[in-house]
Structure 1
Amino acid sequence: MGQGRRRGLEVAVLAGVGLVCAVVLGLLGGAVGLSVASRLDRAPDLPAVSAASPKVPSQASGPETVAGVVRSALPSVVSVLVDAGFESGSGSGFVLREDGYIVTNNHVIDAAIVNDGTIEVVRSDGSRVPAEVVGRNVSYDIGVLRIDDQDLTPLLAEEAPVEVGDAVIVIGAPLGYDFTVTTGIVSAVDRPVTVGEADETSYISAIQTDAPINPGNSGGPVVDGDGRFIGMASSIATLARGSAVGSIGLGFAIPSRAVVRIAEEIIATGSSRTPIMGITIDPSYAGPGALIDTVTPGGAAEAAGLRAGDVILRLGGRDVEDADELVVAIRDRLPGEEVVVEARRGQRAFEVTVVLGSREDR
């Protein structure tokens, strides 16, 4: 993997319109006081771009143009308004199911949950309706809302391949400007992004895009040239601490496969499962790789034969340069999935197959 260091490049989750001045590097939708953002201080190799030309919607107004895609998608997009006193703000969201279920980022609605605030959604027809929280998963930065409406228009959420160079369209409410549309391309896939702090940290194997994404876009859909949902806008990169928050062409989205899986589990059970290996990692280890500090008795790693002191170098064919990349690689898998782990014990390299465990998140 390319290891050119990029000093000063930081990732910030998108600040809501009510928080733009208060939070530069913290969480959107009311997370005043959480101001730690993780750095993207390496440049992983980008996947090779297919020689085939990406499907780029034209700027005219037919069904497969940008205007046509937006016209179809817009009824499925909402703005999310959070009233939680000093931690009020706004973000975006989209309709997952016609029976009232809406998906957004957890950090958009967190303040309302913590401070017993209220949430409203604004639909594309301008109507404002109250929403209740169904559940959330902090690990993936996903939250599910429900409104009292049984006749919504869901976004087309069938899984679609995503390649570098594909055209994308982002719809949301940057800086409170509801239903704003921006366009760009997929700049990279499987980009390891870490945002938040302590027990509020989210690890994302993100889609990177150059489509302008700004504070307030959080939770809004990213769709492809056919109008299919491919990701949910979640974070942006800023140049350095103290810099103004805004698009510099480095935006990140949670892939649709993770969003839909987590959201459907929350709707069905009120909770969701996060894959785990049953280990802790030594944060002081400089790499390359992730050094196992402890192994949970009876956990997935112990069952596979991993021990404290082993260094994990690859997981499921994906390079692991440090602890964050290991967590991102695990989160990109499913609970119960078998993954091949390549590791080093002293000077000996070896492989084991790990059946991932799970942790329930509410």
Structure 2
Amino acid sequence: MLSTTEARAAGLVTLLLVAACTAAPTTAPAPAPPPTSAAAPGGSLADVPTVSAQLLPSVVKILTTGGNGSGVIYTGDGLILTNEHVVRGSPTVQIGFADGQRHAGTVQAVDVVTDLALVQAERRDLPVARFQPGLPVIGELAIAIGSPLGFENSVTAGVVSGLHREIPGTAAETQALVDLIQTDAPISPGNSGGTLVNARGEVIGISEAYIPPQAGAVSIGFAIPAATAIDVAEQLRTTGRARHAFAGLEPTQITPQIAAQLDLPGTDGVIVAATVPGGPAAIAGLQPGDLILAVDGQPTRRPEDFLGALRRRAPGDTIAVSVRSPDGRERSTQLTLTDRPAFSQ
């Protein structure tokens, strides 16, 4: 069962997703205090000015009819990587560059599963950001660069707080908030699509979401890992869509009411609400009402845990799923994942 804090966070965490494109206010909100330690592993606050100067030319502001977000220059010929929710509903955008120039941009391709998009700018010979293909180390320096609330070329700093994070209660709204990097570098609406950078000036993540102070959080932000961003961006460049592992089932959180109805000992686990006819889950014998306890031995307490496990798999992979039937029988079954159909995007 979600704690009070988790439940409140679940209801508010998508504030960045829905409010990322906002007009700049006349006054800025009070920023969160910077980290006091100057000796975090993998860099220190002394590295921030150098890294910022190096990366700022590669980070852009993206303006739509609804407001603004951020992006990062992915190729020298004008491809900009950003969040899908930043450009949602806007086939064309305006792109503000660090040198003050503004150019038109066209949305080339989007992926709602990972909340990533590519925009083609009408400008060439751009400074390309470098991406770190591997995961960062917990505790290393993390610098967020973007345009929060419309304030261009903003820099905040913190550390990498955690890896493989899933945000409880978000699966019913979006599949993007799983397998994320957690950071305490302050992230605000408008940072969406901007960069999270390490002390070597490499992009380690694309800013995605944050839990606001109303939920009792202090500087809890999230970014899409660079490896995921690179993989999806390359697929979008070459084919216009990204492939994702598909289990063919709808995972649902166990509520106290469901637990009481099914005589379950608690609310940990994922209920199969429905299966796709002929899909992987149906072929493996899973049925609505089955309880998924674990994937490859890792417990699945919430739907976000299950979706996070899928994010780290590819179509064609086989996973071991531990299942409890409504009659109480437990079993393990093999489920071969397929490519996500277009209709389920």
User: TM-score by structure 2 length?
Assistant: 0.81
1:302 to 282, 285, 291: 282
Distance 1:327 1:127 in 2: 40
Residue aligning to 1:168:
142
Q: 1:4 to 1:141 in 2, by over 3 A?
A: same
Tell me the SS of whatever aligns to 1:268: helix
Distance 1:197 1:354 in 2: 21
Q: 1:265 to 1:354 in 2, by over 3 A?
A: same
1:151 to 119, 122, 125: 125
Tell me the SS of whatever aligns to 1:151: coil
Distance 2:8 2:172 in 1: 21
Distance 1:161 1:327 in 2: 19
Percent of pairs identical after alignment? 32
- Cα RMSD between the aligned structures? 2.8
State the 1:99 CA deviation: 2.4
- Please tell me whether residue 253 in structure 1 is matched to residue 233 in structure 2: no
Residue aligning to 1:28:
none
Residue aligning to 2:44:
57
Matched-pair contact (CA < 8 Å) for 1:66–1:225: yes
Residue aligning to 2:75:
97
1:70 to 36, 52, 73: 52
Matched-pair contact (CA < 8 Å) for 2:244–2:315: yes
Matched-pair contact (CA < 8 Å) for 1:95–1:102: yes
State the 1:4 CA deviation: 4.9
Deviation digits for residues 21-49 of structure 1 (CA, Å, limit 9, x no counterpart): 8xxxxxxxxxxxxxxxxxxxxxxxxxxxx
- Please tell me whether residue 278 in structure 1 is matched to residue 260 in structure 2: no
Tell me the SS of whatever aligns to 2:51: helix
State the 1:73 CA deviation: 1.7
Residue aligning to 2:32:
none
State the 1:130 CA deviation: 0.5
Matched-pair contact (CA < 8 Å) for 1:294–1:307: yes
Residue aligning to 2:236:
266
Distance 1:12 1:141 in 2: 12
Tell me the SS of whatever aligns to 1:125: coil
Letter in 2 for 1:288: D
Tell me the SS of whatever aligns to 1:328: helix
Q: 1:165 to 1:17 in 2, by over 3 A?
A: same
Matched-pair contact (CA < 8 Å) for 1:208–1:252: yes
Kindly report which structure 2 residues correspond to 1:209-220, keeping only aligned pairs within 5 A, or say none.
209-220=183-194
Distance 1:216 1:254 in 2: 15
Structure 1 residue runs of 5 or longer lacking an equivalent are: 22-51, 60-64
State the 1:167 CA deviation: 1.3
Letter in 1 for 2:14: A
Letter in 2 for 1:124: A
State the 1:218 CA deviation: 0.7
Tell me the number of residue pairs that the alignment of Structure 1 and Structure 2 aligns: 314
Letter in 2 for 1:185: V
Matched-pair contact (CA < 8 Å) for 1:81–1:119: yes
- Please tell me whether residue 237 in structure 1 is matched to residue 219 in structure 2: no
Structure 2 residue runs of 5 or longer lacking an equivalent are: 26-38, 260-266
Kindly report which structure 2 residues correspond to 1:1-362, keeping only aligned pairs within 5 A, or say none.
4-6=3-5, 7-9=7-9, 10-14=12-16, 15-16=19-20, 18-19=22-23, 54-59=41-46, 65-82=47-64, 84=65, 88-113=66-91, 118-193=92-167, 202-240=176-214, 248-282=218-252, 285-286=258-259, 287-345=267-325, 346-360=327-341
Deviation digits for residues 72-128 of structure 1 (CA, Å, limit 9, x no counterpart): 22221111111x2xxx20010001122221111111111324xxxx40111121111
Q: 1:274 to 1:161 in 2, by over 3 A?
A: closer
Does 206-215 or 160-169 show the bigger shift? 160-169
State the 1:183 CA deviation: 0.5
Distance 1:137 1:355 in 2: 23
Deviation digits for residues 103-162 of structure 1 (CA, Å, limit 9, x no counterpart): 11111111324xxxx401111211111000011111221111011334222211231232
